[in-house]
Amino acid sequence: MPSINKSHILIVATNGFEQSELEKPFEQLKAKGAKVSIAAPESGSIKGWDAQDWGSSVKVDLTLDDVVVADYDALVLPGGVMNPDKLRINDKAVALIKAFVDAGKVVAAICHAPWLLIEAGAVKGRAVTSYPSIRTDLINAGGKWVDKQVVTAEGIITSRNPSDIDAFVAKIVEEVEEGRHSRAA
């Protein structure tokens, strides 16, 4: 059985990510022994959004072009409104998410990040949750939306908002420790 302390987890984000939804999972997963890397469309750093204004920047470890899916055990997608809205129109980001899904890797999306799961074709027929404002988008994509802290379907984890981060991270750890997930197309 895989262990979280030997795993490598990738966070994909861009400017406008919800500060807490990137930083808290990053810190909590590292504290549990995982190696955590941040990928973005461009190198350098990306700036978060914190409540009503720009937040802190985080260093980007690699660009989307440099990601090798086989090197990672899980993918984490922070929300906020701007971050997933920008990434869902980025062909490389969507292709990368689809590659993680197709490989049976754990994929975790919080808040508005399930928009990215819609673009990657990973919602249809699955139980999902999200920030309430994108509920209809998920239902229209064929998802079975429920209002819970965290929902998991075949290794795809969704969560609602920053107050759910602890449950979100706990479920990521559990799913990574379970290993590869087979998924219905």
Q: Tell me which of 98, 112, 126, 160 is the catalytic residue.
A: 112
Q: Tell me which of 22, 36, 77, 111 is the catalytic residue.
A: 111
Contact 137, 118 (CB under 8 A): yes
111 annotated active-site: yes
112 annotated active-site: yes
Which two three-digit tokens encode residue 12?
């994909």
Contact 109, 122 (CB under 8 A): no
Calculate the dihedral angle through the C-alpha atoms of 121, 124, 128, 129, rounding to the nearest 10 degrees. Answer: 70
Q: What whole-number distance in Å separates Cα of residue 9 and Cα of residue 12?
A: 10
Q: Which residues are catalytically annotated?
A: 111-112
